[in-house]
Amino acid sequence: MLYALISDIHANLPALEAVLGEIASRDGIAATYHLGDLVGYAPWPDEVVRLLREKGIPGVAGNYDSTVATDYKHCGCRYEDARQEELSHLSFDWTRAKVSAETKAFLGTLPFRIDLRPSGGHVGGPVVILLHGNQTLNTVYVTEDRSDDFLTKMGEALGTRPGDVVCFGHTHIAWHRVVGGVDFVNTASVGRPKDGDPRAGYALVDVTKTGIHVEFVRVPYDVESAARGILRSTLPDEFAEFLRTGGGQPSRA
């Protein structure tokens, strides 16, 4: 069973359209799911949510989704200096003011976690767990430098067994590691990459009889049209440069 997993779209409609087009051009993908953070940082939050709903793509709540939906005081993002903190608040306030009531209500309905059973559920078999952050909060960053012990505890808290797969986003950087027989997969970011590569990123996870296969895909898209959209909006201009450089400046979302 081959799944396309798209995360951290962050209101970047050109990136989402390119990724969905690339997914549609492939054979054999059984289903596409999103892993949250549909909004924030770019000027198309309503359009991104509408497109995902039109395509019938289910998914989980990212921190940006749940904090916008509940009028929380900030987006639950981490920042490393005063300017990042300021930008984070500007983006959050802009998004809260901009999203339609329908979008906001929809974001509030997203589940925290989705379990997939590619073998059907009537027999044992691998479980594919979809999250945004970790098992407790969608604001926790599960970065590649997390220890085996951290991931073992995460797997235990999620009720995993060897052969299962835990997929999440939030850090905007792809990685994949097997700990205790469980695959941990960070699917990267469609609309706000942070690894220095401006192309949109997503993951293909294939659950087969012989094991789990993970492929990270990069999709070129019209970054300049996304950048122009940001510059035309009242969002901070820095967000355009962030997309052009693939997160050249260290930041968190």
For residue 84, give the H/E element and its range.
helix 82-98
For the bound state, the minimum distance from the C-beta of residue 10 to Fe ion, rounded and expressed in Å, comes to: 6
Which pairing describes strands 200-208 and 211-219: parallel, antiparallel, or unpaired? antiparallel
Which residue has its beta carbon closest to Fe ion?
37
Number of residues that bind Fe ion (CB under 5 A): 3
Residue 168 or 221 having the CB closest to Fe ion: 168
Residue 4 or 253 having the CB closest to Fe ion: 253
164 part of the interface to Fe ion, by CB under 5 A:
no
Beta strands in the chain (DSSP E): 2-6, 29-34, 114-116, 128-130, 165-168, 175-179, 182-186, 200-208, 211-219
Residue 141 or 150 having the CB closest to Fe ion: 141
Beta strands in 131-210 (DSSP E): 165-168, 175-179, 182-186, 200-208
Contact 28, 59 (CB under 8 A): no
Please report where in the chains the tokens 């400046």 appear, as a residue.
249
Determine which residue in the list 8, 46, 164, 183 makes contact with Fe ion, applying CB under 5 A: 8
Residue 126 or 133 having the CB closest to Fe ion: 133
**What does the block give as tokens for 136?**
């407790």
Cβ burial of 148 (10 Å; 0-12, 13-18, 19+) is exposed
The interface with Fe ion within residues 33-92 (CB under 5 A) comprises: 37
For the bound state, the minimum distance from the C-beta of residue 191 to Fe ion, rounded and expressed in Å, comes to: 9
Residue 8 or 183 having the CB closest to Fe ion: 8
What binding mask, one character per residue, do residues 234-253 give for Fe ion by CB under 5 A, x or -?
-------------------x
The interface with Fe ion within residues 119-148 (CB under 5 A) comprises: none
**CB-based contacts of 124: which residues, under 8 Å, 6+ apart?**
none
107 part of the interface to Fe ion, by CB under 5 A:
no
Residue numbers at the binding site for Fe ion (CB under 5 A)? 8, 37, 253
